[in-house]
Amino acid sequence: MANHKSAFKRARQNRKRQLRNKSQKTRVKNVIKALEAAIKEKSPAEIQEHMHLAQKVIAKAAAKGAIHRRRASRNISRLSVKVHRVLLTAQASD
């Protein structure tokens, strides 16, 4: 437990940041889940809409420091690979 005034302040700041980062991380997870659900449904318009939103949310979380920039890049890359596979198979079947 903190014993000094500065340590108490640091603990308060850490708690605030923890809550802020938690909400950002939860948002990222929910957006990814929504995109993966859209991929399973295989509706191209919905997939592209969700992908655009996912990229935006993940990049913003990385910019704010809630997640590491390399993790954000990796997530976006993996999601885009999944999206392109689905879209290519949809085009091939048309």
Residue-range domain boundaries for the chain: 5-93
pLDDT of residue 90: 81
Quickly state the pLDDT bin for 84 (edges 50, 70, 90): very high
pTM as predicted? 0.86
Report yes or no: 40 and 21 within 8 Å, Cβ to Cβ: no
For 67-80, what is the mean pLDDT? 97
Q: Which CATH architecture has domain 5-93?
A: Up-down Bundle (1.20)
Residues 6+ apart with CB under 8 A from 56: none
pLDDT digit string, tens, across residues 14-53: 999 999 999 999 999 999 999 999 999 888 899 999 999 9
For 44-73, what is the mean pLDDT? 96
Report yes or no: 23 and 53 within 8 Å, Cβ to Cβ: no
